[in-house]
Amino acid sequence: MHFTRNNKTTDKKSLWKIFFDMFEKAGFLFLFFFLVYMAVYIANTQGLYAVADSTALLPANGLPAVLDVYIPAVTETESNGGGETLLPAVGFSRSPEGMEEIAAYYAAALNRVKTDAVSVTLTQKSGSNYNGVVEAGDNAFLSSVAKSLMRSFLKEENPNTVFTSRNEIQENFIPRGTESHLTADALADAVCKEDSAYYLITVRLKPDRNPKPGYGSGAVGSIITKEEIENAVNGKIKMENPVCAYDGAVSEIKVEKATGKLVEIHTALPMYLYLTSLGLECRIGLRFDEVWTVQW
């Protein structure tokens, strides 16, 4: 009987030990998860306070300190490669630095004219024979076509032509009929200089062939299109894949520091026009200069 009582006593002690061990482990687990929860909670709380504290950088009206930001009115869905291109919002509160910032600032300044300017004035538009090149392979017919094209594209425009309606501004101001999608990849060089109350931004593009309006050389000037070449020839000759080889377009814009508003632009587009027909080749050097002023 005494032996039996010892077994029961031992069993009770074992059960209590097992229960105590389980309780102890559960306590450790509970404490562990509690500590993890508190760590996450504190981290999130500090993050929220960090955001809240940043409002001290805002003025009394709650608006961001950078007030003058250009957000494009229209999102373009067409790009040079056929994919989607989103025009970036650009702040005008400081001078742009580096190729990417200058390209974005330049494009935004031009596009802002198309959406917000009161009027634009074409003060000068002229054309010249670039590097004196007129090569028609000693073919009299091709030579006459080349001269006809030069007369069409190099004619002087009436100075001080003013455009006031929104549609007129969008259709005539650089680049004609579209927005500028200038990117750093298209640039050979870019610089921003300060001149009193203005930024003078100069961009020089890499040579390119048959750019689309709004892209490459077509982002800084109004380029010649295939349709315009065909219209100028007026059916006199059937051309095979005309090539417009731009030879380093250059553009300078003058922008108010305080507002980011473009007040003047001068663009020069030098190019070679290559024409092929019936096995004959022709090369013509053309250069187009435009000067615009903008009224706000």
Task: Give the angle subtended at the CA of 293 by the CAs of 192 and 125, to the nearest 5°.
Answer: 100
> E-assigned strands of 154-279?
161-163, 187-195, 198-205, 208-209, 243-246, 250-256, 262-277
Q: Are residues 96 and 130 in the same domain?
A: yes
d(C-alpha 65, C-alpha 4), whole Å: 86
48 and 73 in a common domain: no
SS3 call for 120: strand
SS3 263: strand
* Count of domains observed in the chain: 2
pLDDT of res. 159: 76
Give per-residue pLDDT as tens, 167-222.
Answer: 999 999 999 999 999 999 999 999 999 988 999 999 999 999 999 999 999 999 99
E strand or H helix at 283, and its extent? strand 280-295
Q: Which of 127, 86, 130, 142 is nearest to 221 (CA)?
A: 127
Domain check: are 38 and 120 in the same one?
Answer: no
Same domain, 80 and 9: no
Measure Cα distances from 118 to 6, 186, 246, 293 in Å. Answer: 105, 30, 32, 11
Show which of 36, 57, 78 is a domain's final residue: 57
Q: Are residues 51 and 84 in the same domain?
A: no
Residue 63 lies in a domain: no
Q: Which of 125, 123, 172, 142 is nearest to 274 (CA)?
A: 142
pLDDT per residue over 208-230, tens digit each?
999 999 999 999 999 987 778 77
Do both 282 and 243 map to the same domain? yes
Please indicate, yes or no, if residue 64 is contained in any of the structural domains: no
What's the pLDDT tens digit per position in 78-110?
334 444 444 455 667 678 889 999 999 999 999
pLDDT on residue 146 = 75
- Domain co-membership, 35 together with 82: no
- Looking at the structure, tell me whether residues 127 and 257 fall in a common domain: yes
Residue with token string 């553009």: 251
pLDDT of 36 reads 53
The H or E element containing residue 123 is: strand 119-135
The more confidently predicted of residues 265 and 40 is 265
User: Residue 203: what pLDDT?
Assistant: 97
Domain that holds residue 13: 2-57
Q: What is the DSSP letter of 158?
A: P
DSSP lists the bridge partners of residue 120 as 163, 294
Which stretch of 55-69, 191-205, 250-264 has the lowest confidence by average pLDDT? Answer: 55-69
Say whether pLDDT at 120 is over 70: yes
Please give the residue that has the higher pLDDT: either 235 or 240: 240
